[in-house]
A and B are shown apart, each in its own frame.
Chain A
């Protein structure tokens, strides 16, 4: 019924397909990463792991932590937008649901990070699914406006939530309880925790994109009436991806809360959502490392470029315009096509050499 033969267009043709019987049951139908993807992944992972050991200093390390939990939320958005084609500027609001769930649980029930984690992700997934419902009935741009208004509404609700939500000043949380003797109050350890979460997020994203479910999402994105005609329950699939995307955002949100040890409403208003959308457009939604690149660019550019916040926002805006006009796949998409062109020339050269 669903189209299993669809190859994801961004993957090179050199994909190796392993025998179904050899894979564990939950992996069946999921494509294996290509050689290039493994290499790139290992490189990036190695770089990220090594990063703290180069003594970057407190500022850069905290920037890195911010980059990482933002990227986690972005991976959720990349599934929603890149795979299913539904953009939202309400994603920061969903992060807020996750973060506030954790903060409220901590302040009201005394639950710590590890206990709140599943609940935060669950509630975010639920919230995202609910916010996603309108998209089933209205068009893309209408829906984006609705998500924007959702964020505004959320901020108002949080600001007026009294002591329950901490109102405008927000809530504080304690540090993450240590496990196996690792104290997470130390920034380095926080960094590695987030990095672990990021790695899992990227792996899950990859698995979903290359699973039958992911391919069905892509077919819905490409031609929804056709998908419905072949019997795919498009609504259910869409709600599903909203929920998954929400879970990612919730994870990012709770990490953010426990990193900042504080949460307040303006973190999740309309602007942060816009910047999330900006990051995913800049970085590129479809290539696997696009969201990470987008987050890195937006978070590190002001530091490295020596720009103050105002100028850097102008730069982001201009960057966004340029990306739309020139690089529809974002920076990572551009890099990917550069790479492909490079390999094509290399193959042609090798072939030529082989003949002569």
Chain B
């Protein structure tokens, strides 16, 4: 049983990263109608920046913040130069994000190399809680993610901006008639989603090594998480992440290890067949006129 708990914490820490990506994907889809394929590469870039800074002697948590800001800037640039032209044709935005992800991945390969990068975790302690050994870093990752999730969730459901955001998702034109600057919100959501990805990358490298290909591996899970919960539904991404975390824990314990990745995909397919709009119900993208 203790081993299972341990596995759960471990899976939760992986799930945290997935949740961060999934939230970004789902937020951006909800408001801009675009599925951002490059979200995985944003995470990878965040991890790489963190790695580079830590290697240069910068404190991990400072590096983490810098990475978040840098990736946020990356997202801002991408939105202003590319995605804003595709708001009326989200499919084009999606395909562009595929191009962007290819570019980012190969630019990183070019500037760094394909060898995997890792850092020694900033916190190497092991806590013993109720007879169970828990790796402190993993617990910290879960804690940070939980805080971010809470902030995001309450931001969307309670704050003034959140209400305006939900209105923009429901009906873009009418939201504009209320005086809501929808385009600015789209940019804002893009930046926020990118910052989340950057954070995910920093947290990820604190736990595992990453390579330039990490983005494309993680994006599948990000998609799975968002689709399971319902694209556009932030709570759904969280639920999806938790479900996949559970599936991973079970798989590691009872399943065939080579099929680990497959289990989450199979779960996603089953859920989508039974309930295509996701467990919590997603949006179909922003509805304009």
Contacts and interface: CB of A to CB of B under 8 A. Distances in A.
Chains A and B touch each other in the complex, with CB atoms below 8 Å apart: yes
B99 A321 contact: yes
B106 A313 contact: yes
Interface in B92-147: 92, 94-96, 98-103, 105-107, 109-110
A321 B82 contact: yes
B220 A148 contact: yes
Chain B interface residue bracket vs A: 35 or more
Contacts of B109: 310
Given A153-B262, A270-B216, A316 B102 contact: yes
Given A134-B272, A270-B220, A310-B106, A321 B100 contact: yes
Contacts of B107: 314
Interface stretch (A101-109, A115-123, A155-163, A332-340): A155-163
B102 A149 contact: no
A321 B97 CA distance: 8
B99 A271 contact: no
B231 A324 contact: no
Given A139-B284, A141-B91, A317 B227 contact: no
Contacts of B272: 134, 138, 146
B261 A156 contact: yes
Contact of A324 (B96, B224, B284): B96
Nearest to B114: A310
Given A156-B259, A310-B110, A314-B110, A320 B265 contact: no
A141 B110 contact: no
B60 interface: no
Nearest to B85: A325
A157 B262 contact: yes
Nearest to A151: B220
B262 A140 contact: no
B248 to A, nearest CB: 14
Contacts of A89: 98
A46 to B, nearest CB: 34
A59 interface: no
Interface stretch (A63-71, A200-208, A274-282): A274-282
Nearest to A146: B272
Nearest to A138: B276
Contacts of A224: none
Chain A interface SS verdict (over half)? helix
Interface in B175-191: none
A232 interface: no
B97 to A, nearest CB: 10
Given A142-B231, A314-B106, A152 B99 contact: no
A318 interface: yes
Contacts of B105: 313
Given A310-B110, A313-B106, A325-B85, A149 B268 contact: yes
Given A141-B90, A153-B265, A324-B92, A278 B102 contact: yes
Interface residues of A, number: 39
Contacts of A153: 262, 265-266, 269
Given A146-B272, A314-B110, A324 B220 contact: no
Contact of A321 (B94, B96, B231, B285): B96
Contacts of B273: 134
B250 to A, nearest CB: 17
A137 interface: yes
B258 interface: yes
Given A152-B261, A317-B106, A324-B92, A139 B285 contact: yes
A139 B99 CA distance: 21
B268 A278 contact: no
B199 interface: no
A140 B259 CA distance: 28
B51 interface: no
Contacts of A316: 99, 102
Nearest to B99: A320
A244 interface: no
A317 B110 contact: no
Contact of A141 (B35, B101, B224, B265): B35
30 contacts: A89-B98, A142-B276, A145-B227, A148-B223, A149-B220, A149-B269, A152-B220, A153-B262, A153-B265, A153-B266, A159-B258, A160-B256, A270-B220, A274-B98, A277-B98, A278-B99, A313-B102, A313-B105, A314-B107, A316-B99, A317-B99, A317-B101, A320-B96, A320-B102, A321-B82, A321-B99, A321-B103, A324-B86, A324-B96, A325-B96
Given A144-B94, A156-B262, 7 more contacts: A87-B91, A145-B35, A146-B269, A152-B261, A160-B256, A316-B99, A317-B101
Interface of B: 29, 34-35, 82, 85-86, 90-92, 94-96, 98-103, 105-107, 109-110, 216, 220, 223-224, 227, 231, 256, 258-259, 261-262, 265-266, 268-269, 272-273, 276, 284-285
Query: Lowest 8 CB-CB distances: which A-B pairs, in order?
Result: A320-B99, A317-B103, A317-B102, A317-B99, A313-B106, A156-B262, A145-B223, A141-B35
